[in-house]
Amino acid sequence: MKQTAAERIAVADRPKARKEHPVLRSIVRHRQFYLLGLPGILSFIIFKYFPMYGILIAFQDYNPFAGVMKSDWVGFDHFIRLFTDPDFFMILRNALFLSLLGICLFPAPILLALLLNELRSELYKRMVQTVIYLPHFVSWVIVVSLTYIFLSSEIGLINKLLLALGGEKINFLFENKYFYPLIMSQDLWRSIGWGSIIYMAAIAGVDTSLYDAAKMDGAGRLRQIWNVTIPSIMPTIVILFILQLGSTLDVNFEQIWLMQNPLNTHISEVFETYVFKVGVGGGEYSYSTAIGIFKSVVGLALIVAANKLASRRGHEGIW
């Protein structure tokens, strides 16, 4: 049926429905979730994004009395100084090696979560979880102090036990070959329990019907773990691994600083301790900021590369 001229004019004059932007539509639809996350979002914006204007001092000869906007510009001089510093490659090597050790410890929380998931006694399971979670709340000062109490060549309990058994003292704290094993042991003892929490939550969300189907196919406990549990929590593993790669050059300052001594500086000096000595101790804020930007760029590049690699392998990345 053809429209008359009057009807066509009426349709043309009718106000068109306003199209909403997909992002706005999503915010309105999930407004309760955004309201719940609003405090965290505001905290992140205020304390993370607003202070980012401070990276300008990496390109200045920053003077605290003149301020960011009135300090003299020097361009990339601080970056050139960093890359030509005789100690740069030593510090980079130490940071990368410690990060590699951290990556080697990455599967430990996963294995612990898998083992805890196999416990049938809920009471015993909760007791074990409580015991292994507690070290996370112990400060690094106490962790290093306990290390000295047990391993010191003078008052260490281990060396006293060795002497009582007719052996000789071992200088754990001042021989370079023991430095990295001690760092790994401290980090493993303090973080393995806390790191397993996310994996425990991921395992709890695995569909139980998958286990029933595996049992019907004759799969034992190990086969169920390998074919059901691990593939189900693989997205969580991939995301956490990508995020860990982003902090490749980040090393726990407090732990390294407390374990460092004049005899192991050449293997323990990392960007964090170097910045503390040169930047905070020497007042070279612009140089310290340049080091921080360098670390951030490396971390961002590793995250992007790892995310693309995960996507090509069929895994869901962080975006």
Q: How far apart are CA 49 and CA 280, in angstroms?
A: 23
Q: Does domain 92-140+178-312 have CATH number 1.10.3720.10?
A: yes
Say if residues 276 and 257 touch (Cβ distance below 8 Å). yes
Q: Can you give the residue ranges of every domain in the chain?
A: 92-140+178-312
Residue 14 has a pLDDT of 55
Beta bridge partners of 61: 72
Nearest to 275 by CA among 294, 259, 261: 294
Query: For 254-310, how does the pLDDT look when each residue is reduced to its tens digit (9 = 90+)?
Result: 999 999 988 899 999 999 999 998 887 788 889 999 999 999 899 889 888 888 888
φ and ψ at 102, to 5 degrees?
A: -65, -40
Question: Within 10 Å of residue 258's Cβ, how many Cβ atoms?
Answer: 17
Task: Give the DSSP letter of residue 21.
Answer: P
Q: How far apart are CA 204 and CA 298, in angstroms?
A: 35
Q: What is the DSSP string of 208-276?
A: HHHHHHHHHTT--HHHHIIIIIHHHHHHHHHHHHHHHHTTTT---HHHHHHH--TTTHHHH--HHHHHI
Q: What is the DSSP string of 63-103?
A: -TTT-TTTSEE-TTHHHHHHHH-TTHHHHHHHHHHHHHHHH
Tens of pLDDT, residue by residue, the chain (319 residues): 555 655 555 555 555 545 566 778 888 888 888 888 889 889 988 988 888 888 889 998 888 888 888 888 999 999 999 999 999 999 999 999 999 998 889 999 999 999 998 888 888 888 988 899 999 999 999 999 999 999 988 888 898 898 888 888 888 888 889 999 999 999 999 999 988 999 999 998 888 888 888 888 888 888 999 999 999 999 899 989 988 888 888 888 999 999 998 889 999 999 999 999 888 778 888 999 999 999 989 988 988 888 888 888 777 766 6
Nearest to 258 by CA among 144, 154, 153, 176: 144
Question: Within 10 Å of residue 120's Cβ, how many Cβ atoms?
Answer: 6
What's the CA dihedral at 112, 117, 123, 129 to 10 degrees?
Answer: 30
Q: How far apart are CA 203 and CA 243, in angstroms?
A: 20
